[in-house]
Amino acid sequence: MTQWINDSVFYHIYPLGFCGCPEYNDGKTEYRLNKVIDWIPHLKKMGINAVYFGPVFQSKKHGYDTSDYFTIDCRLGDNASFKKICDTLHENGIRVILDGVFNHVGRDFWAFKDVQRYGQNSQYCGWFQNLNFGGRSPYDDPFWYEGWSGHYDLVKLNLYNQAVVDHLIGAVEMWMNDFKIDGLRLDAADCIEPNFFKTLRRFCKGKNPDFWLMGEIIHGDYNRWANPEMMDSVTNYECYKGIYSAHNDKNYFEIAHSLQRQFANGGIYQNLCLYNFLDNHDVNRIGSTLRNQNHLKNVHTVLFTMPGVPSIYYGSEWAIEGTRTRESDDMLRPCLDLDTPLVKTTELIPHIGKLSALRKKFSALSSGKYENVLIRNEQLIYKRFNDNQTVVIALNVNDSEYWLDFNISGGCVLTDVLIDGSEYRVENNHANVMIPANGARVLLLHNGEFDYRKFMSEIENDIPKPIVNTESESTKAVSDDSKSGEAADGEPELIRVEFGRYRHFEGREYAVLAVAKDCETEEPVVVYKQLFDNGDIYVCPLRKFAGNVEVNGNKVRRFEFVENNF
């Protein structure tokens, strides 16, 4: 198995939507995908170290109707610009996975157009599944062909034809050689001839043993496709459904059953590292699927602590909403910019960053075994463990905090490493733990040697702090009272505000919820909430919030940052 995958956290981008591309390819080259480079700091805040790009090959419409496997869709840029994107991501420690749409092509695919032009005299008639000249297609071509799942704008390839296989392998070779891609997600994998995957695997692993192959599988036994002869992994749709449904119905038995069935001792997929997700470009956004938005953190906690590799679909870190209709998937694939991301909440970003850091710190979370410990409708406890480490995950979907008794062996103390460092004694292999309302704890089991403060200091660099940088004419002209500092060249330092807890110079504490824009002036403003008292929410200009005040003749911060975990 590809080893780096256990330590990965994925970010899934559907490029044509993400970049706001026109619905149909007009042939004009626009370098829209270059904005991914500006998103790298945002990705790092969440601990992302792998990006899966949806279709990027040249196409007529939505990307899954490929017209040229060797060329970047001109609505996104060109091969040179995409190479720079890949190089920059790699330089930042982020791997690149591309969408391999090898089951079908679009009607603009060059070989299909040759058949349209030359009919039976075309040398490419054998490239397409069940193409024959005994009838007419739904598009009134003078021949019939097989469309994928009845969609005749998607022409099914004949993967029994060696020339077709050679063409596809040749394209993969180019992307591996020139762009150094790290893997492929194989679209509609259940519809593809298995021998093609065997050929693809031999080629890719021969060039790079660490190359990763993951297939889109919705139903069936995942072992049919993920095995030593074909692919490394597949999409875990069973747990996708189980996670949100268990929270919506307040029935943790559902996801606990799937996790036990898949990953516990004797589980059918215990030797696979499946691709886990809460949403993607084909299904409703988790922000729309969840009935109770208070469960957003819990579903992400499950995603990051269950066996397999977690993936965040772009924009869902803000819990943006989106549902598909019978006519369109556009709501699932919006154009997003960092300054206007349709924000619904900002609390998930530090939570995701913390979970990513914990996965990287604790091998039990990234590659350990799985076992259910206690299951109730509204509470669930499971553990991840290996020979050297045990981590206990405790979840609660009740609106009130809940104390749970459970049995655990192997240590005498459980320390929460997700929220606040709370410690719980284990006596006679028995523990009693308080789980917050609609919350979770991730508890490290040890014998008293664990130092939480030291631990937090050690992983500080692995817990990305969401930072909003704003540089405009207004920030360059601020007064000394509101400057955050001076750079070496005399220009004002870039104003930085981290999401988290702040202490006002008069002593009160607040939580920064968002950095927004004034609807008229577009001046950046900070949205923050008073803690521990009445919970009032305030808005303050960013320059003022990040600036200084004079107290007893000394300049001090108006708001002093305390911590990002609140």
Distance CA 54, CA 57 (A): 9
- Burial of residue 416 (number of CB atoms within 10 Å: 0-12, 13-18, 19+): buried
Q: pLDDT of 468-522, one tens digit each?
A: 343 333 333 333 343 333 333 333 344 557 777 888 888 888 888 888 877 777 7
pTM above 0.75, yes or no: yes
CATH of 467-563, one of 3.30.590.20, 3.30.70.100, 2.30.30.320, 3.40.720.10: 2.30.30.320
Q: Reply yes or no on whether the pLDDT at 460 is more than 90.
A: no
Q: pLDDT of 188-227, one tens digit each?
A: 999 999 999 999 999 999 999 999 999 999 999 999 999 9
Proportion of the chain in helix, strand, coil states, percent, rounded to 5: 30, 30, 40
CA dist list (Å): 273 to 201, 203, 305, 314, 339: 17, 21, 13, 22, 35
The pLDDT, as a whole number, for residue 520 is 73
CA dist list (Å): 88 to 7, 93, 122, 157: 20, 9, 42, 34
Backbone angles phi, psi at 220, to 5 degrees: 100, -175
The pLDDT, as a whole number, for residue 496 is 58
The pLDDT, as a whole number, for residue 351 is 95
Q: pLDDT of 101-110, one tens digit each?
A: 999 999 999 9
Q: Reply yes or no on whether the pLDDT at 238 is more than 60.
A: yes
Q: Which fold has domain 366-462?
A: Immunoglobulin-like (2.60.40)
Domain-wise residue ranges, the chain: 105-157, 366-462, 467-563
Q: Reply yes or no on whether the pLDDT at 440 is more than 90.
A: yes
Position 344 confidence tier, pLDDT thresholds 50, 70, 90: confident
Q: pLDDT of 167-176, one tens digit each?
A: 999 999 999 9
The pLDDT, as a whole number, for residue 216 is 98
Inter-residue contact 17 to 330 (CB < 8 Å): yes
Average pLDDT, the chain: 91
The pLDDT, as a whole number, for residue 364 is 98
Position 551 confidence tier, pLDDT thresholds 50, 70, 90: confident
Inter-residue contact 415 to 450 (CB < 8 Å): yes
3-class secondary structure, 334: coil
CA 78 to chain centroid, in Å, comes to: 25
Q: How many CB atoms lie within 10 A of CB 565?
A: 16
Burial 374-388 (b: 16+ CB within 10 A, else e): bbbebbbbbbbbeee
Share of the chain above pLDDT 90, in %: 77
Q: How many CB atoms lie within 10 A of CB 331?
A: 16
Q: pLDDT of 68-79, one tens digit each?
A: 999 999 999 999
Distance CA 305, CA 242 (A): 15
Inter-residue contact 48 to 97 (CB < 8 Å): no
The pLDDT, as a whole number, for residue 533 is 62
Find the mean pLDDT for residues 24-50: 96
Position 166 confidence tier, pLDDT thresholds 50, 70, 90: very high
Find the mean pLDDT for residues 16-25: 97
The pLDDT, as a whole number, for residue 27 is 96
Residue with tokens 């970003």: 349
- Burial of residue 214 (number of CB atoms within 10 Å: 0-12, 13-18, 19+): buried
The pLDDT, as a whole number, for residue 485 is 38
3-class secondary structure, 160: coil
Distance CA 157, CA 115 (A): 13
Q: pLDDT of 394-405, one tens digit each?
A: 999 999 999 999
Position 564 confidence tier, pLDDT thresholds 50, 70, 90: low
Alpha-carbon dihedral of residues 537, 541, 545, 550, nearest 10 degrees? -120
Find the mean pLDDT for residues 291-318: 98
Find the mean pLDDT for residues 287-295: 97
